[in-house]
Chain A
Amino acid sequence: MRYETERTRRRGHADTATDTLARGLGIFSIALGIAEVVAPRALARALGMKGQEGLITGYGLREIATGIGILASKDPTPWIWGRVAGDGLDLATLATALERDNPNKRNVGIAMAAVAGVTALDVYCAQTLSRESPHPLPPLQDYSDRTGFPRGVEQARGAASDFEVPRDFRTPEALRPYTQPDLPQNPMPSM
């Protein structure tokens, strides 16, 4: 479902849950990218990919750019698809490190499993966005005049004060406050 609310950034877009997921992926993208840019050597060592530090830094820059694109664009759909493509690239690169003589092959397997999990989220998010984005939102119905009170809200306040709450529905006497607080001077706060 898609709704336009005051905080909705764009019309004709996915519901807030998908928006939230997209934003989460954007933040994750930037965080991962920073890690790759800041610590390419440590990553290369952990994965047994020495000599490929430059490639890891490049991938980090790609992640940061994609993340910014997701968070800053009016429509993150193409950027999320960009993440899906990047995931494929990451998986292909990691697969090259699955050589027999790589002592850190186990770490590469763990990394590939993690990337595969994120890829699944990326694909789900991208597909949902693609399905919903092309359809414009229906206009909001205006129910602002549906008070339900023929004489207006102010007349209705306390109009049923003649109603006597049945004994078995009352707060038991023992649980009532010893003293009732004074009634507020202004029965309604400013809205």
Chain B
Amino acid sequence: MRALVWHGTTDIRCDSVPDPEIEHPRDAIIKVTSCAICGSDLHLYDHFMPGMKSGDIMGHESMGEVVEVGAEAKGKLKVGDRVVIPFTIICGECDQCKRGNFSVCERTNRNGHIAAKAFGHATAGLFGYTHLTGGYPGGQAEYLRVPFADATHIKVPDGIPDEKLLFLSDIFPTGWQAAVQCDIQPTDTVAIWGAGPVGQMAIRSAILLGARQVVVIDRIPERLAMAEAGGAITINFDEESVVERLNELTNGKGPEKCIDAVGMEAHAAGTVDAMYDRVKQAAMMETDRPHVLREMAYVCRPAGTLSVPGVYGGLLDKIPFGAIMNKGLTIRTGQTHVNRWTDDLLRRIEEGQIDPSFVITHTVGLEEGPEMYKIFRDKQDGCVKVVLKP
């Protein structure tokens, strides 16, 4: 089959690789009908996340049709089922899964000992996202082996196009969880850093959950226009002071809830701390560039909440913990517990409350994937979200 394969920094190719096979009775194989490039894939593309090996298949946002089912998954899946595959692999049986904390499933990360060394404890296995999370082949491919398939799937009905459903795999529940983590009240101003795909979903989620005002911070005109279309007030950080504008919008009090939909590769050209991060990262003295975290901690209203769906990988410098502690801020973060939210979100899609396909700007074949990584990374051609059709 053809698949997008990681070969090194900014080197992803569309290669021919062996078809996946059932390796365990709980496995299933799906024929991928649609998959997407995620913003967090760019951390692998730029090789900021450790733990990739040449030959790894990329991708963790996929959906398709079940074509083969292992003996132990047959009670929950059958050939022909239409499924979206969540990016977190879950067993459904461990302590954390039973609590709904699927992204920290205790059993699916087959390299849990490596993750435990890095993070203290293992987290869930993820598709196509480094050997720290299990080294599972990803779904930017014609076929995908789904481990623990009896639990790791979202069944979706026929009659709704892939484009409306695909993002149940990651960015929609990720944006939703980011907003839910804020426990939004009708009086709240929610400020969202990053108008990429997760930021766009967080905006829509915050609107649906009834925030008084939603403010988004970015600098790409197309992304800001898309954010505004979704009901957000926009701040172009190249053109105005984020802190001043947020204070102006909140009578000097700051937003109650702040969402970091940027993560480890913040671009904030011109600020002293951003230049500092660039230098330290280049000298391998820092893994992440946490400009957004710093700004959120500074501008957030005392007793407010910082919600962090943006991906961070390692060690961050100069985090103003004095501000966080003295202002009594709450930090909520984590990979998304996808299956915890998807029944509810699928219903909202079916009822027409939201149509997540609004975010798709490019739809191409798998062979064009490597070029689309570059275009997406460089935010060229108005690229916000790329869907691949294997």
Contact = CB atoms under 8 A, between A and B. Distances in A.
Contacts of A4: 221
B236 A5 contact: yes
A159 B361 CA distance: 26
A17 B270 CA distance: 7
Nearest to B360: A146
B207 A140 contact: no
A117 interface: no
A162 to B, nearest CB: 9
A183 B187 contact: yes
Interface stretch (B9-17, B113-121, B208-216, B318-326): B208-216
10 contacts: A3-B220, A138-B380, A142-B225, A144-B228, A146-B226, A147-B231, A160-B208, A163-B344, A175-B330, A180-B187
A116 B219 CA distance: 33
Contacts of B236: 5
Interface of A: 1, 3-7, 16-17, 20, 138, 140-151, 153, 156-161, 163, 165-166, 168-171, 175, 177, 180-184, 187-189, 191
B186 A148 contact: no
B156 interface: no
A183 B185 CA distance: 10
A26 to B, nearest CB: 16
Nearest to B269: A17
B348 interface: yes
A143 B330 CA distance: 34
B225 A183 contact: no
Contacts of A17: 269-270
A153 B207 contact: yes
Contacts of B183: 165, 169-171
Given A141-B361, A171-B330, A156 B204 contact: yes
B158 interface: no
Contact of B213 (A146, A181, A189): A189
A25 to B, nearest CB: 14
A138 B226 CA distance: 18
A168 B209 CA distance: 17
Contact of A146 (B186, B229, B305): B229
Nearest to B189: A189
Nearest to B100: A166
Given A143-B222, A147-B229, A16 B100 contact: no
B354 interface: yes
B354 A140 contact: no
Contact of B359 (A3, A7, A144, A148): A148
Contact of B210 (A7, A160, A177): A160
B358 interface: yes
A24 to B, nearest CB: 10
Of the listed residues B212, B340, B356, the one surrounded by the most CB atoms of chain A closer than 10 A to its CB is B212
Contacts of B207: 149, 153, 156-157
A149 B230 contact: yes
A159 B351 CA distance: 11
A150 B350 CA distance: 11
B45 to A, nearest CB: 16
Interface in B339-390: 340, 344, 348, 352-356, 358-359, 361, 378-382, 384
A7 B228 contact: no
Contacts of A191: 233
A160 B269 contact: no
B42 interface: no
Contacts of B359: 146, 148
B185 A189 contact: no
Given A5-B236, A158-B186, A160-B210, A143 B226 contact: yes
Interface string B189-223: 00000000000100011011110110000011111
B361 A16 contact: no
